[in-house]
Amino acid sequence: MAASVSKYITDYGGDGHVIILLHGFLSSSKYWTRMQPFLSKAGYRVIAIDLLGFGHAPKPRDVRYGYEDHINYIDSSIQKLQIVQPFTLIGHSMGALIAARYSNLFPSKVSASILLHPPLYMTPHEAYTTLRKTNTLYLFLLNSRYRRLGWALVKTIVRTRIGKHSRYSRERSLRNVIEQAEIFTDLENSATNTLLIVGLRDRRAYLENVTNASLAKSVTVITEDVTHHSPVEEPALIQRRILDFIT
């Protein structure tokens, strides 16, 4: 049974090696509910954390929601858990971007980093334009002067899939993390044993970009015939890839 260390940290218990899970943009720690049981059953202590500004985490208005803010919040959350031994850090989407940066800043704390479908953009311009070409609805939600009303409707209609967040955490995290397009710098400089999973049914640019990128020798890239949301749609498959990598 899960025990909440706080409203925004869920520790599923166990005495095994620690795995910490970071969800993606617009989501919450509940994103992992389908995959977590596989990892716990394999003997790991699994902990899921709500990112700053999402789920039940604090949602301050006076921060940039950039890498530094997210990293400081994650590190503070991990310190509350009093984890002594190095842990495996797993992130999905925006959570993968944060996991990669955290692993670079605190290599002694992270034994392995697993990045599930991070936004693999080469430049801020590519990130900005690609996101707005997704579809008309996405363009409206990102750029329209009426986007606050649009997001209110979206959160009402699909509230089970979109975690609680504020306008500040949504717009600033997008601008100051995802659209900064710094993932390849982190991957090039990584000293942490890292697994990067790219979905063949995710954005085509991700596979093209990673194929042409310069990555550190510590980074292993594998592709799977999955969408961006493989932890939800293919939890058993992703669990196998994780365990194959860390055991």
Summarize pLDDT for 81-110 with one digit per residue, the tens.
999 899 999 999 999 999 999 999 999 999
**133: confidence class by pLDDT, cuts 50, 70, 90:** confident
Asked whether the beta carbons of 108 and 194 are under 8 A apart, the reply is no
pLDDT at 144: 82
Contacts of 167 (CB under 8 A, 6+ apart): 148, 151
Q: Count of residues for the chain? A: 247
Tally of domains within the chain: 1
Find the CATH number of the domain harbouring 233. Answer: 3.40.50.1820
Summarize pLDDT for 215-236 with one digit per residue, the tens.
999 999 999 999 999 999 999 9
**Is a pLDDT exceeding 70 seen at residue 136?**
yes
The parent domain of residue 82 ranges over: 3-246
Best CA proximity match to 39, nearest among 171, 201, 235, 234: 235
pLDDT at 112: 98
Summarize pLDDT for 20-36 with one digit per residue, the tens.
999 999 999 999 999 99
Asked whether the beta carbons of 117 and 92 are under 8 A apart, the reply is yes
Asked whether the beta carbons of 204 and 215 are under 8 A apart, the reply is no
HSE-up of 76 (CA within 13 Å, CB side)? 13
Asked whether the beta carbons of 113 and 186 are under 8 A apart, the reply is no
* Six-digit token string for 90: 């797993």
